[in-house]
Structure 1
């Protein structure tokens, strides 16, 4: 493997992942976790551990893939699908490609909804209704504003955007903590008892907000040393989980059961809160720009659009963003979308496919070692293959696949039921137009 001398360093790759997580774990995650009661923290820890482990497996799959088939480096615009094609053929590649694209595309919709809702809320607070713009029009405006930034190439072309975004995440944390610490301690609103629906929604939101798998290989392709991906993942999760944990503890002590899907809705009105909302909106928009690169690169490959900046890239990416805006006009609530996407699509990408791919590609690599003396096993320099190690990996992979299938099916059923019920209670933009 030839190092990418012009690529991302480990610290900046960590910033890219922290930017991908964004402010969602700070303002959107504490509520669903607290509604799970004592099960919330264990659930979060389990999801975090699986996310890190399976993302590392994906990174190792690519390193091994380069040794088995060096020409795979030319498929780095769609690395997840390229691994699927190497180990299981073109049919599986197509399935993975579609799932990945839908996941990334679907994740942009709640981003746009939340940003539009924040700006609408701020506009309503303006004196004498000076900024009286409806939520539906804010959604269109945000989509148009995001078009020029998304015309950039890959994460390595967005270092300035990523840096500003991460600084915004830290600022949002600080402001949110300051606001909550000023709340009197005499508020005693107990947290409701957990139910199956709250646990299923929390799992879906967790999987959605911390699903790095569609983008992690794209970040790895841009790294100077791709073997250091585990350090990037552990560092990024550590930073974000610390911020999330501190926020959740303070929110539990100060607000309790008042926290719903959006933590900011439970905070008292102040100028600091308005600044906080503006920063949240800014970060969501910047994170959307970076997180959609995997989707755009995959589509551009299939349409044979060159890697260089061209008008075709601009038209394609603008069309995709406007399609997300159009769907957002139909969707009634962002938290339901997050839960449904997280349960239905991120489960296979997170739990099921990485262990299967890793187990298969290890077998392919071991077979090539036995048939070719020229192959150098560089992925784990000090590791020795043994039956025991292979058995443990197989057992762990089987367990993850079983849990992934079970969690995906149960949480998807629960979230579909919630979507059906709540869609009848909440009007979308299209419903407001025709009713």
Structure 2
């Protein structure tokens, strides 16, 4: 530890990368896993179906590239601590702070917009996903009806203040995901006779990039990673958390992904849970996932609400302004969930756009930008001069270029799917107009 004692006051202050009270790298690795796993793994078999057999190595390549980019994101934060000591104290928006130091106010605003779009999009996707899963158990109520029911259930929870402790939620998330994966694998192998002739056609350009966005969505959560690193006792050990965390994520993702595609083939749906035959184990898995998504929705909703309250100068207490603003956000999410009640279409849009930017593009660019900066008078006198090896710089630029191309193409195709007459025809509003 490199904590520093202030000679004038005798107060112990943190050094670069150190905090007197903080989490160890193993605990942070655990939280990293809980941040990433969840709804994403349900769509990975469909992602492989869209990309063909190459989708399996793509999961390893993209996941590994996200992990590498995230380690550079951790180094970027250490650069901030070295040059500007104020960042050695806990930060509320570390990702946005890095974007601002690298690219100024514009960079911060773009980063903020990407984070907000991702979290709001996650909320919409969770509503649609929960509605679809419960509809498979209780079909008497339509998917649109379940979206409204879940919205009513979640609306009172939107008024909560800052979450204080999510230990139980995090533990439940990992347990629910593990149980779900085991249940899916068991049922898929039992269902092999129901899929005697699975097909594995070559992907089209459109399906490939839709698969790209689904894979990226499965590795989302990068916008929260700087906050996890910020809570560490030794933030230089962030790379250890990343390696352990991503190893666990691969161990959870790959079995159900490979089994789902091998057994069902191209006909696998965007939610593998809905492809497994109904049974007690699948019903339990769906129930666990719905409860997990309910709690995850609350966690994702809170930072969006707080950020908007800061912008609108809403007092940090329970008051009518909070009720009005947060109700408006819930209504906004419900509106889009009803307009596009297609989990696959929503995750393709989020994964192809903002998650790609936050996971692949921003981390390398911020790291290279800050590393290449010329020393000036605002830096702390002990700040190091850093360099990037040529091989690393080439790899970082490859990540940025490939992600930029994939992001643009995936977003275009995702919008084409959402605006397709068939998708619009499945809108809950279309059903309402027909009934009227």
The TM-score range, normalised by the shorter chain, is 0.7 to 0.9
Distance 1:136 1:250 in 2: 31
Q: 1:357 aligns with which of 349, 366, 374?
A: 366
Answer whether contact 1:161 1:286 (CA < 8 A) is retained. Answer: yes
Answer whether contact 2:56 2:258 (CA < 8 A) is retained. Answer: no
Distance 1:31 1:4 in 2: 43
Answer whether contact 1:30 1:244 (CA < 8 A) is retained. Answer: no
- In structure 2, the residue matched to 1:134 is 142
- In structure 1, the residue matched to 2:56 is 41
Distance 1:188 1:5 in 2: 60
Within the alignment, does 1:430 sit opposite 2:419 as a pair? no
Q: 1:226 aligns with which of 225, 235, 240?
A: 235
- In structure 2, the residue matched to 1:419 is 418
Give the superposed CA RMSD.
Answer: 2.8
Within the alignment, does 1:64 sit opposite 2:63 as a pair? no
- In structure 2, the residue matched to 1:165 is 173
Q: In the TM superposition, what is the alpha-carbon distance from 1:314 to its structure 2 partner?
A: 6.5
Within the alignment, does 1:375 sit opposite 2:382 as a pair? yes
1:308-347 matched pairs, under 5 angstroms:
310-311=318-319, 316-347=325-356
Distance 2:356 2:263 in 1: 33
Residue aligned with 1:345, SS: helix
Going from structure 1 to structure 2, the CA distance change for 1:117 and 1:372 (only over 3 Å counts) comes to closer
Residue aligned with 1:367, SS: coil
Going from structure 1 to structure 2, the CA distance change for 1:228 and 1:135 (only over 3 Å counts) comes to same
1:146-185 matched pairs, under 5 angstroms:
146-147=154-155, 151=160, 153-154=162-163, 157-185=165-193
Distance 1:332 1:298 in 2: 27
Q: In the TM superposition, what is the alpha-carbon distance from 1:300 to its structure 2 partner?
A: 4.1
Distance 2:70 2:152 in 1: 33
Q: In the TM superposition, what is the alpha-carbon distance from 1:403 to its structure 2 partner?
A: 1.7
Going from structure 1 to structure 2, the CA distance change for 1:321 and 1:73 (only over 3 Å counts) comes to farther
What CA deviation, in whole Å up to 9, does each residue of 1:198-244 have, x standing for no partner?
21111111112212222111222333333332222222221121121
Structure 1's unaligned 5+ residue stretches are: 125-131, 378-383
1:390-409 matched pairs, under 5 angstroms:
390-409=389-408
TM-score, normalised by the number of residues in structure 1: 0.85
TM-score, normalised by the number of residues in structure 2: 0.85
Answer whether contact 1:20 1:291 (CA < 8 A) is retained. Answer: no
Q: In the TM superposition, what is the alpha-carbon distance from 1:295 to its structure 2 partner?
A: 3.2
Going from structure 1 to structure 2, the CA distance change for 1:251 and 1:391 (only over 3 Å counts) comes to closer
Distance 1:372 1:94 in 2: 23
Q: In the TM superposition, what is the alpha-carbon distance from 1:5 to its structure 2 partner?
A: 5.2
1:20-35 matched pairs, under 5 angstroms:
20-35=35-50
Distance 1:317 1:166 in 2: 28
- In structure 2, the residue matched to 1:207 is 216
